[in-house]
Amino acid sequence: AMRQRMEEGARPTNLKRGPGGVVDIEFIVQMLQLVHGGRDERLRTPETLSGLDLLHAAGHLSDGRHEFLGRAYRTLRAIEGGLRLLDAPARHDLPTAVDDQRRLAQLLGYDAPDRLVADVVIWRTSPVFGPHTLMKFNLSIVRRITVTT
C-alpha cells in the first residue's frame, strides 16, 4: 500500500519513486540488510552501493542480481545528478523533450539520447522490480523475520 501511494504521487518518468526506481533498489538492499544484518554486523551500512557489495560478498545476492542492481542504481543516480547540473525543474524525472534528453545524454557521455532512454527502460522494466516480485520478496522477508525472532 505504501509503495502504491508513492507511485501515485509520481509522474511515469520519475526515476526515484516510479517502478524500478531508486527507491525500489534501496528497498531491496535495506530489506536484505534487515534480514541478515542481525546475525552479520558487517552488512550494516547506510550506503546503498556498499550494502549491495556486502550482501553480494556474503552470498545474499547472486552475481547477476548484484551487477544489475548496482548498474541500475549508478545509472539512475547519475541521471539525477545530471538533471541537477542542468538545473532541470523536475530533478527526479527523465525529460520527455528531445532537446532536454539530448543535453542530458551528452552530459552523461551517451552518444545519443535514445540510448539513454533505452538504458532507463531496461532498468525500470526489469522483472526484478515488478509488483509481484517485490511483494513476493517482501513476504519472504517478513516470514524469515517472524521465524527467526
DSSP state, residue 89: S
pLDDT (tens digit, 9 = 90+) per residue, 27-61?
A: 889 999 999 998 999 999 999 999 999 999 999 99
Query: Long-range contacts: 27-32, Cβ < 8 Å, 24+?
Result: 27/134, 28/69, 28/128, 28/134, 28/137, 29/55, 29/69, 31/137, 31/138, 31/141, 32/60, 32/61, 32/141
Note the pTM of the prediction, 2 decimals: 0.81
The position carrying cell 525500470 is: 124
pLDDT (tens digit, 9 = 90+) per residue, 64-81?
A: 989 999 999 999 999 999
pLDDT (tens digit, 9 = 90+) per residue, 103-122?
A: 999 999 999 999 999 999 88
Q: Are 29 and 35 in contact (CB under 8 A)?
A: no
